Every structure is written in structure tokens, then in C-alpha cells.
Chain A
Amino acid sequence: MSLTESTLRVALYEGPGTRALSQETRFETLKQLLSQGCSVRRAADPGDVSVWIGDWAGDFEEQGEAAAHTCISVAPEHLPEAVEASRKSVAAAPAGQWKPWFPVIDYDRCTNCMQCLSFCLFGVYGVDGDRKLQVQNQDNCKTNCPACSRVCPEAAILFPKYKAGPINGDVVSDADLQREKMKVDISALLGGDVYSLLRERTAKAQSRFSKERDADKALAERQKCLTKLAALSADIPPEVLASLPSPDEIARRAAEAAAKAQAALAPKD
């Protein structure tokens, strides 16, 4: 997925040459534009925004200042299609073509300990030229999985769309930090390899369910078990657990991540 394009920027224009919009039309037009992923300037002066949307009076859109811009009518029967045409003509980002789930690092808190980099099997994290942790492949992140932020001992990893604090960006309390530390300690007690543990438990459950004769009962039991496992393993969604790679692949990726983290933490020459 390419994230190189910008969003389509438009101006909701009500200056000379247009009829003033009713409050209702202004609101509904804005909502429509936002639902199409646009960034909208609502201002007397559209500035350097090149796509203007308004209730055009006469042939104003074909003369004067407006002629230098793409002018679109607010008429609801034309607006969505005209916006899409404009988006294509300026090569702006298509609506909804991005993943609204990715980690954001709070560098006021991050200690560059690399626990997240070691933990994530999906290569979301990396380091920059100064060996500072950064999010490098946000598209690799598994939707609704906040596990790396649970592993972070400093509560420095945010997922702004998460339901609860401090992962959603809410203030970090001392109690939150104690909880984070406890979770890291638990993973260490389990042998330090959370993924192996999860894989093992999933494999055991699969083996047990394969022997079940009643398919419905087996399914219900499996769902119950996955729900429990997800609760035990720091909110990891069942679909992420179910899609974990083979033990060998987990071992390979974990070793790769650990090597990256180790290299980042090694003394500089």
C-alpha cells in the first residue's frame, strides 16, 4: 500500500460569485467531503487550495479568479463524482486506502531499549541512522493488536485508535507503569518468548479440537479458548493469534528482530 500521496485538499468557498450556503447545506457538504477522505478549508480566503466547492452563481466559475481553479458545485447529485474526478486529476490519495492502525512513538518516554523491536515479528520497527527507534513499516502492523505497547516498559507506544489509556494517548499514570513492568516480568518468567508460548498453546488447542467429534461444540470451545488466550496475551486479537506463522518461522523472525535490536544497542565504533 502506497502512502506517498497526500489527501485531496478542497476549499468550501462562499466568496464573491457564489450564493451563501445554508447552515444545513454547509454541514452536509462538509460531512460528505470528509467521508470521501478530503481535507477541507472552510474560509473566506481559500488561499492556495486549488479545488473550490461552492454554490456558483451565473458563470462566475468560468471567469476571474475562479477560472484558475477547479470549481465544483455543492449539488449533492454531482459532488461525490466530481470530487473523485478531481482526486484523480491531481493524483491525490484514494479515499480509505490506508490502514488506520499503526504505532506512534512518544519520544518523551521512549528509552530506545528496543524491546518493541525485539518483540514484533512483523518488522514494524527499525532504527534510523543514529540508531534511534522508529516506526518503519506501519502497514505491517496487525489491526487491533497493541501487543508491542504492552511490552514497552515506559508506556511509550501509542495506538491513537485504541479504546483505553494510556495506549490511546491518555496521560500515563504511575499505576500504568507498574502494570507495564509486571507484564514484562511475566513474559520473562515464561521464558522470554511470548510467541513460542502462544504458538504452543494454540497447537495444543488445535490438537485437542481435532479429536472432537461434535464440530459445533469444538468450534464453541475453540472460540472460548482463543478469547481466554487473547485476554491473557495482552489484547492480541484472536485472528492475529490464529495467523501466527509456524514455530520455525517464528524462531527465524524472532532471531532476526533480536539481531536488529542487538545491533542498534551495540556500542558505536
Chain B
Amino acid sequence: MAHPRILYCHCQYAQVLPKEVKEEVLKKLCASGVDFEAVADLCELSARRDPLLKELSEGGPLKIAACFPRAVKWLFAAAGAPLDASNTQVTNLRVEHVEPAFAALLDPSLSPNLPAVATTTPSHVAH
């Protein structure tokens, strides 16, 4: 089975990802020899509706190192490149430590974790 593709976001234009975490994860990716895509800032690609997002969302199993899964899901959707919830795993570099984050990326198995439905019930569903 092929390893899921890996997308790494460097969050270049804000300080929301801890610098030591994102740089260590990038360093480890560089040292590992695995194939991966790195983008300066996923938010920019979403704002620009960059075709790379569509290519990634339509290309099968995908592991993403970025921020909160809910944010990643809707950034892709906003770019007209909705992610396949059953084929996507997001590692949140805002909260994860380096070792577990890197291990999750390198693990060949995929644990989908995009929010498939609202995590609390919106009022239009509740009433």
C-alpha cells in the first residue's frame, strides 16, 4: 500500500504555529527521505484558490501537518477543493508536540479525523 501523501504547512505569515515545532517537523521530514509537499501558508493557497489544493484533495489518502482539522477542512472547501473526510488526517501543529506529530505523518496507516458533522448541534438542527 502506498504511503499517504504528506502536505506540510509552514504558516509563513503568522506566528500561530510554534516555531520550534514547525521547524523541527520540517527538519525531520527533510531527514526522513519521504516524499512530501510543503507550502508557505495554506491560508494563502485557499485565498488564491490555488490549483494545488484541488490536486491534493482529489489525489487519494492525504496527511496534512497544519492547524485545527476544522480550519483545514473549510480552507480547502473555500478554495473549491473539498477534502475527502474518509481519506484525510490532519496533524495539528498548534497543539501537538514534535515527536507525536512527526510519527503521525510517517505512520503509513491513516486515521481520518476531519469533523464530518458539526461537533455540537447547531440550532437549525436542534429545533
Interface residues on B, range: 35 or more
Q: Which 4 A-B pairs have the closest CB atoms?
A: A169-B71, A169-B68, A43-B35, A100-B13
Q: Is the pair B52, A6 in contact by a Cβ cutoff of 8 Å?
A: yes
Q: Is the pair A169, B72 in contact by a Cβ cutoff of 8 Å?
A: yes
In the bound complex, CA of A153 to CA of B121 (Å): 12
Task: With A30-B38, A100-B43, A172-B120 as known contacts, state yes or no: A7 contacts B78, CB within 8 Å.
Answer: no
* Contact residue among B23, B70, B78 (Cβ-Cβ distance under 8 Å from A171): B70
Which residue of chain A lies nearest to B78 when distances are taken between CB atoms in the complex? A104
In the bound complex, CA of A173 to CA of B47 (Å): 27
Q: Which of B26, B36, B37, B71 has most chain A Cβ within 10 Å?
A: B71
Q: Is the pair A3, B48 in contact by a Cβ cutoff of 8 Å?
A: yes
Total residue contacts A-B, CB cutoff 8 A:
153
Task: With A104-B75, A109-B118, A174-B120 as known contacts, state yes or no: A39 contacts B70, CB within 8 Å.
Answer: no
CB distance from B71 to the nearest CB of A (A): 3
Binding site for A on B (CB under 8 A): 10, 12-14, 16, 23, 26-27, 29-31, 35-52, 67-72, 74-75, 77-78, 94, 115, 117-120, 122-124
A selection of 14 A-B contacts at a CB cut-off of 8 Å is: A3-B48, A7-B44, A27-B26, A27-B27, A30-B26, A30-B38, A37-B40, A105-B74, A153-B123, A158-B70, A160-B67, A160-B71, A168-B68, A174-B120
Q: Is the pair B118, A172 in contact by a Cβ cutoff of 8 Å?
A: yes
Decide if A216 is an interface residue (CB 8 Å cutoff).
no
Q: Is the pair A37, B44 in contact by a Cβ cutoff of 8 Å?
A: yes
Question: Which residues in B have their C-beta under 8 angstroms from that of A93?
Answer: 44, 48
Interface residues on A, range: 35 or more
Q: Which of A1-54 contact B (CB under 8 A)?
A: 3-7, 9, 23, 26-27, 30-31, 33-45
Q: Is the pair A170, B120 in contact by a Cβ cutoff of 8 Å?
A: no
* Contact residue among B10, B47, B67, B120 (Cβ-Cβ distance under 8 Å from A34): B10
Task: With A5-B48, A7-B50, A161-B14 as known contacts, state yes or no: A171 contacts B119, CB within 8 Å.
Answer: yes
Q: Is the pair A96, B48 in contact by a Cβ cutoff of 8 Å?
A: no
Question: Which residues in B have their C-beta under 8 angstroms from that of A156?
Answer: 122
CB distance from B3 to the nearest CB of A (A): 12
Decide if A269 is an interface residue (CB 8 Å cutoff).
no
Decide if A102 is an interface residue (CB 8 Å cutoff).
yes
